[in-house]
Structure 1
Amino acid sequence: MMSPKPNILIYSPDQADSYAECIRGYGFSSVKAASTVEEAEKYLPGTEVILAWKFPTQLLHKPIASSVRWFQSMGAGVDDLASDTHIPENIILTRIVDQFGGYISEYVFTYLLYLVKDVPRMSKAQLERRWDPFISETLAGKTIGIAGLGSIGAEIVRKARSFDMNVYGLSFSGKQAELVDRHFASDEWKVFVKEIDYLVLTLPLTKATHHVVNRDVLLAMKPESAIINVGRGALINEKELLAVMRSGHLQGAVLDVFETEPLPKGHPFWEMPHVYVTSHLSGPSTRDGVSRFFVDNLNRYLNKQPLQGLVDRKRGY
């Protein structure tokens, strides 16, 4: 039998009202919207469920938050929330899953094609009004290595197959090893990257993955290979990547995530040749997509069914 509908608090610095309107459209009327700490404090008493982005978690240890039972993040990456001691252990923590594979895989292949077809050369020839016919390379037969074989990594694998690429994968659990041509464990990084043409990072950030891509791993890659990071910024030791790129060892580095965001204006990445900087945009959390996921999870919650995207705080994701 379904439980009574809970009091829901939507928190977002700039989209709270829009999200709240969307959730109400699914038939949930007890929904409050907050975009400031003061508003969150006002609406927390009696709140059972929170859907939030950049929530002021220090409030969750206060008596006003004693009724909170479940916290749904609007994002996929929850390394900050998983390690946040302000969130009491009795609060269920979930993240968005299976929402970003399409977006992020298209981003990855935008840059793979940009590189393999040498789009910069074509653009330069047009600007110079210079006829420059040449034979570009193809992705077919190239080897892509995907570190992280969750829903995002799996979708990149699927698209790589359509381009007739060889697909290697590295994961910590090995649960999706059958998706790839060769699978590597988390202690086999150097062997994993040795033969690949493109390394794509989709891993979550944990203690085990912090700076897991360091100088040794980068130098183990082929000089003509490239790296794409759509996971978390701190997966890569940025100082060591800078040094390797300056040495000319890699063909390119496509970076959508960074240790410090926004990336400081004075950072060398902005102007470094063969480094492509984007503003953490490869996997957007859309209002409609997140709302649909939340409502599905909300119905699971009300019917006492297992929630999607349940976070293991010890694991970090």
Structure 2
Amino acid sequence: EQEEISEMNLLIVNVNVVPDYLKRKLESKFPEISILAAETEDEVGDFIEKTEILIAGRISDELLRRAKKLQWIQCQLTGVDYILNQPSLRKDVLLTSARGIHGPQVSELTFLLMLALGRRFPQVIQNQGKKVWDRWPGKLLWKKKVGILGVGVIGEEIARKCKAFGMTVFGIDAIKREIDAVDCFFGPGDLLQVLKEVDYFVNVVPNTPETQNMIGARELSAMKPSAFFINVGRGETVDEEALIKVLRERKIAGAGLDVYLKEPLPEDSPFWELDNVIVSPHVGGLSDVYADQVLPIFEENLRRFLKGERRDLINFIAR
């Protein structure tokens, strides 16, 4: 146990909420901490040189290089791979994430994509612009089968909503858990079997060495021609060339994508042009109440950090 620390400097930067709101909330509970809230890294100035605590999303290697006194990074995202890949991240700097808060927003976006694809809603919007009254029967979610690859916090929330819509839910995960909303649990070895069965397939897995290109040509070609593919996990987990091919050849009905191999999605990506694809600009994790969703984690971790309980931080990333 380390003794209590005072006179700490905390920098908030590159967060996808209003940084001043976080600053006000944290200052009211931690008046002993000096806090700078910056929209971008350009506004940070020399404060970074004395920063011990950093609350941030994606940050540049240059910022880390200048942060000589940095002790702890609280990332406001679930995925910390971007920070881990920075050469100037020192081994002694603690890293924590905001894992566990994104279930509501990612699951709602998943449903937006599933419903919009099944009901051809992009076409409805286009027709509205052209004042065209055209009708067709929409594909229901009711009584359909959905496969969810990656049944963590987000996958479980998606499963619950699927059950509420009357769907049969297949969960695929290396760790089998008892979840009421999952009708059948499968291991990764049964992935192809599940893909052959389902009407909707939702990919929620993170980017790890094991998951890269986990969904390739073999997996996609196992899907039914009437099935839809949803990706709210990470772009690296899917072979994009293979996905583009099955979409072009209409081997599957369509795809709803929120994540890509390269972000922002390059202008020359075929995804923009394909009429059976919905391109969402990686907004699944964002919400209008994001600051209030992340604050409980930030506050509790700050309390523990200031007490010297360094290894008991919530969502501590061991490395």
TM-score range, shorter chain: 0.7 to 0.9
**Which position in structure 2 is the counterpart of 1:140?**
142
Question: Which residue of 233, 255, 260 corresponds with 1:231?
Answer: 233
**Which position in structure 2 is the counterpart of 1:260?**
262
Q: How does 1:113-192 map to 2 (within 5 A)?
A: 113-119=115-121, 127-129=131-133, 132=135, 135-175=137-177, 180-192=182-194
Mark the CA change 1:296 to 1:230 in structure 2 (over 3 Å): closer, same or farther. Answer: same
Mark the CA change 1:262 to 1:135 in structure 2 (over 3 Å): closer, same or farther. Answer: closer
Residue type at the aligned position of 2:213: H
Name stretches of at least 5 consecutive residues in structure 2 with no aligned partner: none
Shift of 1:156: 0.4
Contact 1:149 1:176 in 2 (8 A): no
- Indicate whether 1:308 and 2:314 are aligned: yes
Shift of 1:116: 3.1
Matched residue SS, 1:199 = strand
Matched residue SS, 1:187 = helix
Name stretches of at least 5 consecutive residues in structure 1 with no aligned partner: none
Question: Which residue of 9, 19, 27 corresponds with 1:24?
Answer: 27
Indicate the RMSD between aligned Cα atoms, in angstroms: 2.8
Shift of 1:18: 4.7
Mark the CA change 1:32 to 1:143 in structure 2 (over 3 Å): closer, same or farther. Answer: same
Q: How does 1:2-151 map to 2 (within 5 A)?
A: 3-5=4-6, 6-12=8-14, 16-28=19-31, 29-34=33-38, 40=44, 42-60=46-64, 65=68, 67-119=69-121, 127-129=131-133, 132=135, 135-151=137-153
Q: Identity over aligned residues, as a percent?
A: 32
Shift of 1:221: 1.1
Larger deviation, residues 155-164 vs 135-144: 135-144
Contact 1:69 1:90 in 2 (8 A): yes
Q: Deviations over 1:149-176 (max 9, x none)?
A: 1111111011111112111111233346
Contact 1:196 1:225 in 2 (8 A): yes
Contact 1:82 1:311 in 2 (8 A): no
Q: Partners in 1 of 2:117 and 2:82 — Cα distance? A: 33
Residue type at the aligned position of 1:167: V
Residue type at the aligned position of 1:261: E
Matched residue SS, 2:189 = coil
Shift of 1:121: 6.5
**Which position in structure 2 is the counterpart of 1:216?**
218
TM-score, length of structure 2 as denominator length: 0.85
**Which position in structure 2 is the counterpart of 1:199?**
201
Shift of 1:282: 1.7
Q: Partners in 2 of 1:12 and 1:119 — Cα distance? A: 33
- Indicate whether 1:289 and 2:293 are aligned: yes
- Indicate whether 1:249 and 2:251 are aligned: yes
Residue type at the aligned position of 1:199: F
Matched residue SS, 1:90 = coil
Mark the CA change 1:247 to 1:54 in structure 2 (over 3 Å): closer, same or farther. Answer: same
Q: Deviations over 1:40-80 (max 9, x none)?
A: 56223443221112223345456x52x32211111111122
Contact 2:56 2:76 in 1 (8 A): yes
Shift of 1:39: 5.8
Residue type at the aligned position of 1:4: I
Mark the CA change 1:241 to 1:42 in structure 2 (over 3 Å): closer, same or farther. Answer: same
Matched residue SS, 1:139 = coil
Q: Deviations over 1:194-252 (max 9, x none)?
A: 21111111111011111111111100111111111111111111111111111111111
